[in-house]
Structure 1
Amino acid sequence: MATVSPCIPHSQTTCGSLLQELQIIWDEIGESDRDRDKMLLELEQECLDIYRRKVEKTRKYKADLHQLLAEADAEIADIFSVLGEHTSFSRGKGTLKQQMSAIKPMLEDLRLKKEQTVSDIHPSMTDPANGQSKSISNDTLAKLTRVIDSLRQEKQKRLLKLQGLGRMLIDQWDLMDTPVDERNKFDHVTSLIACTVDEVSKQGCLAIDIIEQTEVEIERLNVIKASKMKELVFKRQSELEEIYRGVHMEVVSDAARENLIHLIESGNVDLSELLSSMDDQIAKAKEEAVSRKDILDKVEKWRHVTEEEKWLDEYEKDENRYSAGKGVHKNLKRAEKARIFVSKIPSIVESLITKVKAWELERGVPFLYEKAPLLHTLEEYTVLRQEREEEKRRCREQKRLQEQLAAEQEALYGSRPPISKKPLGQSANTNNTVGTPVGRRMGTPLSRHGLSTGKERRESGRVNQAIPLNYVALPKDDSVHRGN
């Protein structure tokens, strides 16, 4: 009967109890010590990653609290200036949350006083008895000036805040390729980026609720970015590899991706900085691709011409290339064009070598094409082609000498005389006098081995040395009979 591992109540679950349960399960499965150690290391790494993310989140929260406290201090100082007060304020000591708790009521009270002061200034300009304007005291003018300055500073502050948020929005959108329709929802924010304070006049465009909505959107995008960052990194890597492949540069895809995975999972790299670094690599790759384009175009032309050269070599080896048949006319035309292309190969290769040398001299690195130095490939090709051309020249010379020797032999010995007709009843290949076979008396040593006389004539250039120089064909007369 199978044993059942004990189930630990959820309320009592701890790391130690979970590890104990895991050990029991491993024992039941029969897991090896090596696999257990490996899984424990993975668990430890996952725990570290969770702690690291929590620390990063807490560190950001701390920075946000510092920022809020600094903004509150600045706002309090501004309100004191508007009210004409020279009171100093200290938020005291304690934790950041305690300081926020201390400063919040003070800030709200000062905001109410500021609004009351502004409200008091306007009625003071009008006589409530008859509704007519009355003279304004210097004190009122001073308060009004302070209010206007304060409002101008607040406008400037809010504009700078929204401009910064707008830039952050655009960066996030570009990073994650956000669709245009989603971007249009915050046009009223991004349109302020290039504006000055005096150019901003639309009512409500700098309202607090707009700032808060923008901050919420940025926070939402940050959450999405964190979940999509790995996808974005590999998208950049794919783009980089595609550029490299397009210009025949070496791509170490697997190793690069493993390195990226290790960096992301370790948590020791800022993903935004990693993406920025990859964008720089992409920009450099595009720049190098442009510098390689002219050479690569010539390489493609050279490869096309060498393919035609190969086809032409095979075509000229075909003894039936002139035989009537389908496609003969097209092949003849292609062969004619191929010969023109092949004649240009030396100049194409020479021009390509010159450009590669200039490129390497300018950059101080070899020009690689499919992981191999292109200059070495071209020089090797040049040597091999010269060897092939020399071999072709030797073959042509040998063939010419063979044809010349065959012609000389034919001129010296002439064609084989036809076999004369014999009287009826006489053997066609036997002499009347001594009965010697004509084939034995007139043939070559090769014909004695059964080769036909037609082939013997075609190969006379090869067997001419086997024919005796003092060979004379005997006349076909009846001298023997007359002697008798």
Structure 2
Amino acid sequence: MATLGEHKLYLKKDKGVVPLKEQLATVSPVLESLKCKKEERIKQFSDIRSQIEKIRFELSEYNDQGADPSSLAAEEHDLSMRKLNSYQTQLRALQKDKSERLRKVLEYINEVHSLCGVLGIDFGSTVHEVHPSLHQNGVEQSRNISNSTLEGLASTIYKLKAERKSRIHKAREIMESLCQLWKLMDSPEEEKRQFSKVMSSLILPEEGITSPGVLSEETIEKMEFEVERLTRLKTSRLKEIVMKRRAELEAICQNAHIEPDVSTAPEQTDALIDSGCSFLHPALLLYSHVFVFVFTSNVILVPIPPGLIDPSELLANIESQILKAKEESLSRKDIMDRINRWIAACDEEAWLEEYNQDPKRYSAGRGAHINLKRAEKARILVRKIPSMVDDLINRTFAWENARNKPFLYDGGRLISVLEEYRLSRHQKEEENRRYRDQKKLESILLAEKEAIFGSRPSPRKTSSLSRKANGYRPNGNTNGLKTPTPRRLSLGSATPELLTPRSYSGHNRYFGDVRRLSTSHLNFGDDSLSTFTSISGSEPESPSIG
């Protein structure tokens, strides 16, 4: 009873004298009950002690259970409920501690597993170094969850994260070089596809990289090998690549009508790549790494030791020039559009002058109405040319003031071309005015002669015949549909006394500095009479189109 913690025994007492055998018979059931109760209590203590010992060795530094916990002998001197409750409280505390530790261990193990997968490291050997029980295929209770195990897992995670960070930095540097080489070599998509998974992972933040094997040593070595292969190939294909980029630069400059940088001209880049001693422009001397002693001309002889020039720098210079050319082209777009409209208007003016020379332009032939409509539109457009030129000059001045440099068109300053065009057009109008005055004077003199000596063949008819013989002829096959071509036309012998003005189209000297701004676009030909016809209005206007 003392062992069970029960200090009172309640027995039924009789008033009379009870024989000893009867008393023994009365006590025996109670004694048997106490024995059963003691055995049950011992079993409870044994179970609780077994669970406590099992949790304790899981929390210990060494996972060596030794004897079976169920075989441990219970303390038989104190089997009270107070002691049992104390063990139960201790067991609940240990179970709670075990649950928290086990949760942490599982979190650490999962993180180690993920990091090992990304880095391509063997997971089993990694956790085995922390504690062998962590990689056993047993129940969860067999894992060691001691403080040293938790510290070991935390330290392993820290090392793996540091390794991941180092490999990410290395892989990104390699991938940057690889992308530059791909762009440089114009590599096909098939070559890039094998690294697409790595590229998509490296653009993510560090914690977001979870693809298995994406940062393995094998993957990084594969990337390094590809960089080495392309680097060797780049040296052999450098000239082709440089020429291709230079052609791209020239195409951009040609469309924008600007001069490309001569520092990367094909003859200089070829010499720079092929030889260690080249004729170089001063802008290329930054690649030579030598001092310059002579600045007497744009092309100088500079010795360059072989292998001292980095071809990538030369290509980077061309790429930089391409970017600058694109920016320059974008800034010139508004003015270039107006230049194109001006040139188109000059083309229409030239066509209109040739069209006005055709005596059959009002005939009822097939397609004549198309040319009539075009002529009406051309007259409207020609009247806008002076305002086009003025607007173009104002915009060009604004562009030059904003950028503090002249606006060059194929090497010549656009303002100079426009100013002389405007001056020559003014001279042309003055000459036309004098020509009309001369025609009026001639008509008056002719009328006076006819009044005195009688009528004679009209110079106007002779001039008309001359035009028919030498002037614009519509195409016979298309019956006037084809755009006329310019022809030389003279006034003939009917009016030898006329003062023939100098045509504006002869003033094309200022286009010497503008190579691709064609003089034919601006109505500069040898035909002077065509100019008079379109400006003076001597020919009748076209009839209205119903």
1:210 corresponds to which residue?
219
Matched, 1:269 2:309: yes
The one-letter code sitting in structure 1 at the alignment partner of 2:336 is L
TM-score by length of 2: 0.50
TM-fit CA distance, 1:354: 0.7
Q: C-alpha distance in 2, partners of 1:230/1:128?
A: 62
Q: C-alpha distance in 1, partners of 2:359/2:135?
A: 117
Gaps of 5+ in 2: 1-122, 277-306, 463-493, 496-546
TM-fit CA distance, 1:350: 0.7
Q: C-alpha distance in 1, partners of 2:460/2:414?
A: 53
3-state SS of 2:207 partner? coil
TM-fit CA distance, 1:332: 4.2
Matched, 1:241 2:264: no
The one-letter code sitting in structure 1 at the alignment partner of 2:248 is E
Structure 2 vs 1, CA of residues 413 and 286 (structure 1 numbering), >3 Å: closer, same or farther?
same
Matched, 1:384 2:424: yes
The one-letter code sitting in structure 1 at the alignment partner of 2:210 is S
TM-fit CA distance, 1:291: 1.3
Structure 2 vs 1, CA of residues 397 and 326 (structure 1 numbering), >3 Å: closer, same or farther?
farther
TM-fit CA distance, 1:115: 9.3
Q: C-alpha distance in 1, partners of 2:138/2:203?
A: 48
Matched, 1:284 2:324: yes
TM-fit CA distance, 1:252: 7.0
Structure 2 vs 1, CA of residues 320 and 404 (structure 1 numbering), >3 Å: closer, same or farther?
farther
Count of residue correspondences:
311
The one-letter code sitting in structure 1 at the alignment partner of 2:326 is K
Structure 2 vs 1, CA of residues 217 and 396 (structure 1 numbering), >3 Å: closer, same or farther?
same
3-state SS of 2:219 partner? helix
Q: C-alpha distance in 1, partners of 2:461/2:204?
A: 98
3-state SS of 2:396 partner? helix
TM-fit CA distance, 1:353: 0.8
Structure 2 vs 1, CA of residues 253 and 314 (structure 1 numbering), >3 Å: closer, same or farther?
farther
Structure 2 vs 1, CA of residues 119 and 353 (structure 1 numbering), >3 Å: closer, same or farther?
same
Structure 2 vs 1, CA of residues 195 and 402 (structure 1 numbering), >3 Å: closer, same or farther?
closer
1:51 corresponds to which residue?
none
The one-letter code sitting in structure 2 at the alignment partner of 1:258 is E
Structure 2 vs 1, CA of residues 204 and 299 (structure 1 numbering), >3 Å: closer, same or farther?
closer
1:38 corresponds to which residue?
none
TM-score by length of 1: 0.56
Q: C-alpha distance in 1, partners of 2:210/2:369?
A: 80
The CA RMSD over aligned residues, in Å, is: 3.7
Summarize deviations over 1:291-325 as a string: whole Å, max 9, x none: 11111111111112222323333444556666776
The one-letter code sitting in structure 2 at the alignment partner of 1:381 is Y
Output aligned runs, 1:308-319, within 5 Å: 308-317=348-357
Q: Kindly name which structure, 1 or 2, has the bigger radius of gyration based on alpha carbons.
A: 2
Output aligned runs, 1:42-53, within 5 Å: none
2:409 corresponds to which residue?
369
1:149 corresponds to which residue?
158
3-state SS of 1:191 partner? helix
Summarize deviations over 1:35-74 as a string: whole Å, max 9, x none: xxxxxxxxxxxxxxxxxxxxxxxxxxxxxxxxxxxxxxxx
3-state SS of 2:257 partner? coil
TM-fit CA distance, 1:242: 0.2
Output aligned runs, 1:38-77, within 5 Å: none
TM-fit CA distance, 1:156: 2.5
Structure 2 vs 1, CA of residues 137 and 252 (structure 1 numbering), >3 Å: closer, same or farther?
closer
Q: C-alpha distance in 2, partners of 1:128/1:311?
A: 94
Summarize deviations over 1:248-296 as a string: whole Å, max 9, x none: 1234779811121232233443222222222111111011111111111
For residue 301 of structure 1, the aligned residue among 332, 338, 341 is 341
**Contact 2:167–2:215 (Cα < 8 Å) also in 1:** yes
**Contact 1:126–1:132 (Cα < 8 Å) also in 2:** no
Name the structure with the higher helix share: 1
The one-letter code sitting in structure 2 at the alignment partner of 1:353 is I
